[in-house]
Amino acid sequence: MDLILVNLIDGLVTGLLLFMLSAGLTLIFSMMGVLNFAHASFYMLGAYFAYQISTYVGFWMGLLIAPPIVGLVGAAVERYGLRRVHQYGHVPELIFTFGLALLIEELVKFIWGNDQIPYQIPEILEGAAFSISSYDIPAYKVFMIFLSLAIFLGLLYVLTRTRVGMIIQAALSYPRTVEALGHNVPLVFMGVFGVGTALAGVAGVIAGPVLSTFPGMAVVLGSIVFVTIVIGGLGSLGGALVAALIIGWLTTFAKAYNVRMEDILTGLGFNKPDPIWDSAWRDLWTLTSPQIADILPYLLMVLILVFRPYGLFGKRDV
Protein backbone atom coordinates (compact mmCIF):
# COMPACT_ATOMS: atom_id res chain seq x y z
CA MET A 1 0.00 0.00 0.00
CA ASP A 2 2.74 2.42 0.95
CA LEU A 3 4.71 1.47 -2.11
CA ILE A 4 1.70 2.31 -4.23
CA LEU A 5 1.55 5.75 -2.68
CA VAL A 6 5.23 6.32 -3.29
CA ASN A 7 4.85 5.28 -6.91
CA LEU A 8 1.80 7.45 -7.28
CA ILE A 9 3.92 10.41 -6.21
CA ASP A 10 6.76 9.44 -8.51
CA GLY A 11 4.38 9.00 -11.43
CA LEU A 12 2.77 12.34 -10.62
CA VAL A 13 6.14 14.07 -10.83
CA THR A 14 6.84 12.54 -14.24
CA GLY A 15 3.32 13.21 -15.43
CA LEU A 16 3.31 16.84 -14.37
CA LEU A 17 6.68 17.38 -15.98
CA LEU A 18 5.36 15.86 -19.21
CA PHE A 19 2.30 18.02 -18.98
CA MET A 20 4.35 21.18 -18.58
CA LEU A 21 6.02 20.32 -21.86
CA SER A 22 2.92 19.14 -23.65
CA ALA A 23 0.88 22.13 -22.47
CA GLY A 24 3.21 24.52 -24.29
CA LEU A 25 3.28 22.27 -27.31
CA THR A 26 -0.50 22.05 -27.39
CA LEU A 27 -0.88 25.82 -27.08
CA ILE A 28 1.49 26.36 -29.99
CA PHE A 29 -0.13 23.67 -32.07
CA SER A 30 -3.64 24.93 -31.45
CA MET A 31 -2.81 28.51 -32.31
CA MET A 32 -0.50 28.02 -35.23
CA GLY A 33 -1.13 24.50 -36.49
CA VAL A 34 2.57 23.82 -36.07
CA LEU A 35 3.74 20.77 -34.24
CA ASN A 36 6.99 22.07 -32.81
CA PHE A 37 9.45 19.21 -33.10
CA ALA A 38 12.07 21.30 -31.33
CA HIS A 39 9.91 21.74 -28.24
CA ALA A 40 12.01 19.42 -26.11
CA SER A 41 15.09 21.29 -27.29
CA PHE A 42 13.77 24.38 -25.56
CA TYR A 43 13.35 22.26 -22.45
CA MET A 44 17.02 21.35 -22.77
CA LEU A 45 17.98 24.99 -23.27
CA GLY A 46 16.09 25.79 -20.07
CA ALA A 47 18.24 23.35 -18.13
CA TYR A 48 21.49 24.56 -19.66
CA PHE A 49 20.70 28.26 -19.27
CA ALA A 50 19.67 27.70 -15.68
CA TYR A 51 22.88 25.82 -15.01
CA GLN A 52 24.94 28.63 -16.48
CA ILE A 53 23.08 31.24 -14.48
CA SER A 54 23.23 29.16 -11.30
CA THR A 55 27.03 29.04 -11.47
CA TYR A 56 27.00 32.81 -11.00
CA VAL A 57 23.98 33.67 -8.91
CA GLY A 58 22.57 30.37 -7.70
CA PHE A 59 19.69 28.02 -8.49
CA TRP A 60 16.80 30.31 -7.63
CA MET A 61 17.89 33.12 -9.90
CA GLY A 62 18.35 30.48 -12.61
CA LEU A 63 14.77 29.37 -12.10
CA LEU A 64 13.64 32.97 -12.37
CA ILE A 65 15.75 34.13 -15.31
CA ALA A 66 16.26 31.08 -17.53
CA PRO A 67 12.62 30.52 -18.63
CA PRO A 68 12.12 34.09 -19.90
CA ILE A 69 15.37 33.82 -21.84
CA VAL A 70 14.22 30.54 -23.38
CA GLY A 71 10.93 32.25 -24.21
CA LEU A 72 12.80 35.07 -25.92
CA VAL A 73 14.83 32.58 -27.94
CA GLY A 74 11.58 30.85 -28.86
CA ALA A 75 9.94 34.11 -29.89
CA ALA A 76 12.99 34.95 -32.02
CA VAL A 77 12.79 31.52 -33.69
CA GLU A 78 9.15 32.18 -34.50
CA ARG A 79 9.81 35.69 -35.75
CA TYR A 80 12.86 35.01 -37.92
CA GLY A 81 12.51 31.35 -38.80
CA LEU A 82 9.06 29.86 -38.58
CA ARG A 83 7.25 32.85 -39.98
CA ARG A 84 9.35 32.59 -43.08
CA VAL A 85 8.74 28.88 -43.52
CA HIS A 86 5.02 29.27 -42.77
CA GLN A 87 4.31 30.27 -46.38
CA TYR A 88 5.48 26.89 -47.66
CA GLY A 89 2.92 24.93 -45.63
CA HIS A 90 2.73 22.65 -42.60
CA VAL A 91 5.04 19.89 -43.71
CA PRO A 92 7.99 22.23 -44.32
CA GLU A 93 7.22 23.83 -40.95
CA LEU A 94 7.51 20.47 -39.29
CA ILE A 95 10.74 19.80 -41.18
CA PHE A 96 12.05 23.19 -40.07
CA THR A 97 11.42 22.48 -36.41
CA PHE A 98 13.01 19.08 -36.87
CA GLY A 99 16.14 20.73 -38.29
CA LEU A 100 16.04 23.22 -35.45
CA ALA A 101 16.08 20.37 -32.93
CA LEU A 102 19.22 18.99 -34.58
CA LEU A 103 20.84 22.40 -34.65
CA ILE A 104 20.07 23.20 -31.01
CA GLU A 105 21.53 19.88 -29.92
CA GLU A 106 24.72 20.58 -31.85
CA LEU A 107 24.91 24.12 -30.49
CA VAL A 108 24.55 22.82 -26.94
CA LYS A 109 27.37 20.36 -27.60
CA PHE A 110 29.42 23.19 -29.06
CA ILE A 111 29.01 25.43 -26.03
CA TRP A 112 28.80 23.00 -23.10
CA GLY A 113 30.48 19.91 -24.53
CA ASN A 114 29.28 16.34 -24.98
CA ASP A 115 29.24 15.31 -21.36
CA GLN A 116 26.74 15.69 -18.61
CA ILE A 117 27.13 18.96 -16.72
CA PRO A 118 27.04 19.22 -12.92
CA TYR A 119 23.67 20.97 -12.60
CA GLN A 120 22.43 20.21 -9.12
CA ILE A 121 19.47 20.77 -6.89
CA PRO A 122 19.85 23.61 -4.37
CA GLU A 123 21.08 22.61 -0.92
CA ILE A 124 17.89 23.68 0.79
CA LEU A 125 15.91 21.07 -1.16
CA GLU A 126 18.31 18.21 -0.55
CA GLY A 127 17.13 15.43 1.68
CA ALA A 128 13.69 14.09 2.38
CA ALA A 129 10.54 16.11 2.89
CA PHE A 130 8.73 13.32 4.69
CA SER A 131 8.63 9.55 4.62
CA ILE A 132 5.96 7.00 3.98
CA SER A 133 6.87 4.03 6.19
CA SER A 134 10.44 3.31 5.10
CA TYR A 135 10.35 5.27 1.84
CA ASP A 136 11.75 8.80 1.81
CA ILE A 137 10.06 11.34 -0.41
CA PRO A 138 12.72 13.82 -1.54
CA ALA A 139 11.97 17.45 -0.86
CA TYR A 140 12.85 18.31 -4.44
CA LYS A 141 10.04 16.13 -5.78
CA VAL A 142 7.56 17.87 -3.53
CA PHE A 143 8.92 21.18 -4.77
CA MET A 144 8.51 20.05 -8.39
CA ILE A 145 4.91 19.05 -7.79
CA PHE A 146 4.03 22.33 -6.12
CA LEU A 147 5.81 24.44 -8.69
CA SER A 148 4.09 22.65 -11.60
CA LEU A 149 0.74 22.97 -9.92
CA ALA A 150 1.35 26.67 -9.31
CA ILE A 151 2.23 27.18 -12.94
CA PHE A 152 -0.88 25.34 -14.09
CA LEU A 153 -3.08 27.40 -11.85
CA GLY A 154 -1.44 30.50 -13.27
CA LEU A 155 -1.96 29.22 -16.79
CA LEU A 156 -5.55 28.34 -16.02
CA TYR A 157 -6.11 31.82 -14.67
CA VAL A 158 -4.63 33.47 -17.76
CA LEU A 159 -6.60 31.23 -20.08
CA THR A 160 -9.96 31.67 -18.41
CA ARG A 161 -9.86 35.12 -16.84
CA THR A 162 -7.94 37.36 -19.20
CA ARG A 163 -8.64 38.75 -22.64
CA VAL A 164 -5.59 37.20 -24.21
CA GLY A 165 -6.59 33.92 -22.64
CA MET A 166 -10.05 34.17 -24.19
CA ILE A 167 -8.58 34.68 -27.61
CA ILE A 168 -6.28 31.69 -27.16
CA GLN A 169 -9.14 29.55 -25.91
CA ALA A 170 -11.29 30.54 -28.82
CA ALA A 171 -8.43 29.64 -31.11
CA LEU A 172 -8.25 26.20 -29.54
CA SER A 173 -11.76 25.40 -30.71
CA TYR A 174 -12.34 27.66 -33.69
CA PRO A 175 -9.00 28.62 -35.21
CA ARG A 176 -10.49 29.89 -38.47
CA THR A 177 -13.07 32.11 -36.84
CA VAL A 178 -10.52 33.73 -34.60
CA GLU A 179 -8.36 34.33 -37.59
CA ALA A 180 -11.29 35.88 -39.41
CA LEU A 181 -11.94 38.20 -36.48
CA GLY A 182 -8.52 39.62 -37.02
CA HIS A 183 -7.08 38.40 -33.75
CA ASN A 184 -4.27 36.32 -35.10
CA VAL A 185 -1.92 39.19 -35.40
CA PRO A 186 1.66 37.99 -35.77
CA LEU A 187 2.33 39.33 -32.30
CA VAL A 188 -0.05 36.82 -30.72
CA PHE A 189 1.66 34.03 -32.64
CA MET A 190 5.04 35.17 -31.46
CA GLY A 191 3.76 35.58 -27.91
CA VAL A 192 2.21 32.12 -27.77
CA PHE A 193 5.34 30.57 -29.21
CA GLY A 194 7.42 32.46 -26.65
CA VAL A 195 5.20 31.45 -23.73
CA GLY A 196 5.01 27.85 -24.91
CA THR A 197 8.77 27.55 -25.17
CA ALA A 198 9.21 29.37 -21.84
CA LEU A 199 7.00 26.70 -20.23
CA ALA A 200 9.27 24.08 -21.74
CA GLY A 201 12.15 26.10 -20.30
CA VAL A 202 10.68 25.93 -16.79
CA ALA A 203 10.33 22.18 -17.16
CA GLY A 204 13.98 22.03 -18.15
CA VAL A 205 15.11 24.14 -15.22
CA ILE A 206 13.44 21.94 -12.65
CA ALA A 207 13.99 18.60 -14.40
CA GLY A 208 17.63 19.20 -15.29
CA PRO A 209 19.05 18.42 -11.83
CA VAL A 210 17.10 15.19 -11.34
CA LEU A 211 16.99 13.75 -14.86
CA SER A 212 20.57 14.93 -15.52
CA THR A 213 21.53 17.66 -17.95
CA PHE A 214 23.25 16.40 -21.10
CA PRO A 215 22.95 17.04 -24.85
CA GLY A 216 20.75 13.99 -25.40
CA MET A 217 18.11 15.01 -22.86
CA ALA A 218 15.91 16.57 -25.55
CA VAL A 219 15.82 13.40 -27.61
CA VAL A 220 15.07 11.29 -24.56
CA LEU A 221 11.98 13.28 -23.67
CA GLY A 222 11.07 14.73 -27.08
CA SER A 223 9.30 11.76 -28.60
CA ILE A 224 7.44 11.04 -25.37
CA VAL A 225 6.03 14.56 -25.37
CA PHE A 226 4.68 14.00 -28.88
CA VAL A 227 3.22 10.70 -27.83
CA THR A 228 1.53 12.49 -24.95
CA ILE A 229 -0.25 15.03 -27.07
CA VAL A 230 -1.17 12.49 -29.72
CA ILE A 231 -2.70 10.21 -27.10
CA GLY A 232 -4.48 13.14 -25.46
CA GLY A 233 -5.74 14.38 -28.80
CA LEU A 234 -3.95 17.10 -30.74
CA GLY A 235 -5.04 20.51 -29.56
CA SER A 236 -6.68 19.42 -26.31
CA LEU A 237 -5.14 20.76 -23.11
CA GLY A 238 -7.25 18.51 -20.89
CA GLY A 239 -6.33 15.55 -23.02
CA ALA A 240 -2.67 16.43 -22.68
CA LEU A 241 -3.04 16.45 -18.87
CA VAL A 242 -4.78 13.09 -18.76
CA ALA A 243 -2.34 11.52 -21.20
CA ALA A 244 0.67 12.94 -19.34
CA LEU A 245 -0.55 11.49 -16.05
CA ILE A 246 -1.39 8.13 -17.64
CA ILE A 247 2.08 7.92 -19.15
CA GLY A 248 3.72 9.06 -15.92
CA TRP A 249 1.98 6.43 -13.82
CA LEU A 250 2.16 3.70 -16.44
CA THR A 251 5.93 3.91 -16.79
CA THR A 252 6.52 4.36 -13.05
CA PHE A 253 4.43 1.37 -12.08
CA ALA A 254 5.83 -0.79 -14.86
CA LYS A 255 9.31 -0.05 -13.54
CA ALA A 256 8.45 -0.46 -9.87
CA TYR A 257 6.67 -3.80 -10.09
CA ASN A 258 8.57 -6.55 -11.76
CA VAL A 259 5.74 -8.24 -13.59
CA ARG A 260 7.24 -11.14 -15.48
CA MET A 261 5.79 -12.58 -18.64
CA GLU A 262 6.91 -15.99 -17.38
CA ASP A 263 4.45 -15.80 -14.51
CA ILE A 264 1.64 -14.67 -16.78
CA LEU A 265 2.30 -17.41 -19.30
CA THR A 266 2.57 -20.18 -16.70
CA GLY A 267 -0.54 -18.76 -15.09
CA LEU A 268 -2.29 -19.14 -18.45
CA GLY A 269 -1.22 -22.77 -18.49
CA PHE A 270 1.66 -22.65 -20.95
CA ASN A 271 4.71 -24.76 -20.30
CA LYS A 272 8.06 -23.07 -20.14
CA PRO A 273 10.28 -24.44 -22.91
CA ASP A 274 13.43 -26.08 -21.67
CA PRO A 275 16.19 -25.09 -22.15
CA ILE A 276 14.86 -21.54 -22.50
CA TRP A 277 17.91 -20.04 -24.24
CA ASP A 278 17.37 -22.30 -27.22
CA SER A 279 13.73 -21.46 -27.77
CA ALA A 280 12.54 -19.01 -30.43
CA TRP A 281 10.13 -17.67 -27.81
CA ARG A 282 12.82 -16.95 -25.23
CA ASP A 283 12.36 -13.19 -25.54
CA LEU A 284 8.68 -13.51 -24.82
CA TRP A 285 9.29 -15.74 -21.80
CA THR A 286 11.97 -13.55 -20.29
CA LEU A 287 10.04 -10.31 -20.82
CA THR A 288 9.56 -8.20 -17.71
CA SER A 289 7.60 -5.03 -17.16
CA PRO A 290 10.60 -2.78 -16.28
CA GLN A 291 12.12 -3.87 -19.58
CA ILE A 292 9.19 -2.59 -21.60
CA ALA A 293 8.30 0.39 -19.40
CA ASP A 294 9.86 2.87 -21.79
CA ILE A 295 8.08 1.56 -24.85
CA LEU A 296 4.66 1.38 -23.23
CA PRO A 297 3.78 4.97 -24.22
CA TYR A 298 4.53 4.20 -27.86
CA LEU A 299 2.52 1.03 -27.71
CA LEU A 300 -0.35 2.95 -26.16
CA MET A 301 -0.12 5.57 -28.87
CA VAL A 302 -0.24 3.05 -31.70
CA LEU A 303 -3.24 1.35 -30.11
CA ILE A 304 -5.02 4.66 -29.60
CA LEU A 305 -4.36 5.72 -33.16
CA VAL A 306 -5.66 2.46 -34.51
CA PHE A 307 -8.87 2.56 -32.53
CA ARG A 308 -9.40 6.28 -31.89
CA PRO A 309 -7.51 8.25 -34.52
CA TYR A 310 -8.23 11.61 -32.89
CA GLY A 311 -6.79 10.64 -29.54
CA LEU A 312 -8.60 10.48 -26.21
CA PHE A 313 -10.03 14.00 -26.21
CA GLY A 314 -9.26 15.23 -29.69
CA LYS A 315 -12.14 16.71 -31.57
CA ARG A 316 -10.87 18.29 -34.66
CA ASP A 317 -9.05 17.03 -37.63
CA VAL A 318 -5.47 18.01 -38.18
Partner 1 sequence: MTDTAQTSQARAQGGVTLSAALPWIIAGLFLLVMPFIFQSNSAITIMNQMAITIIFALSYNMLLGQGGMLSFGHAVYMGVGGFLCVHIMNWEIFGSLPLPILPIFGGIFGLILALIVGSFSTRKAGTVFAMISLGVGELIAACSVIIVVFFGGEEGISGDRTYGLPFFGIEFLTQIEVYYLIAFWLLVSALLMYLFSRTPIGRMANAVRDNPERAEFLGYSARWVRFYSFIAAGFFAGIAGGLFAINYEILTEENLNLHTSGSILLVTFLGGVGFFFGPIIGAIVFTLLQTVLSLETELWALYVGALFVATVMFFPGGLSGVLMMHGTPIKLGKWRMLVKPYIKVLVPAVLCILGLAGFIELMFHARHAAIGESEMTLFWTTFDHSNPMPWIVFAVLALGGFWLARKGSPELTGAWHEANTPDEVSE
Window 98 to 157, contacts with partner 1 (CB under 8 A): 98-100, 102-103, 105-107, 109-111, 113
DSSP 235: T
What's the burial of 300, exposed, middle or buried (CB within 10 Å: 0-12/13-18/19+)? middle
Q: Does 264 bind partner 1 (CB under 8 A)?
A: no
Cα 224 versus chain centre, distance:
7
Q: Does 96 bind partner 1 (CB under 8 A)?
A: yes
Q: Find the shortest distance in angstroms from Cβ 32 to partner 1.
A: 12
Considering only the stretches 12-20, 63-71, 85-93, 196-204, report the one whose residues sit in contact with partner 1 under the rule CB under 8 A: 85-93
User: One symbol per residue from 205 to 244: x for binding partner 1 (CB under 8 A), - otherwise; what is it?
Assistant: --------------x---x--xx--x---x----------
* 180: Cβ contacts below 8 Å, ≥ 6 apart: none
- Number of alpha carbons in the 13 Å side-chain half-sphere of residue 312: 17
Q: Find the shortest distance in angstroms from Cβ 228 to partner 1.
A: 11
Q: Which is nearer to partner 1, 165 or 216 (CB)?
A: 216
Pairing of strands 128-132, 135-138: antiparallel
- What value does the CA radius of gyration of the chain take, rounded to a whole number of Å? 21
As a whole number of angstroms, the distance between CA 148 and CA 151 comes to: 5
- State the residues that interact with partner 1 by CB under 8 A: 35, 81, 84-85, 88, 90-92, 94-96, 98-100, 102-103, 105-107, 109-111, 113, 219, 223, 226-227, 230, 234, 280, 282-283, 287, 291-292, 294-295, 298-299, 301-302, 305-306, 309, 317-318
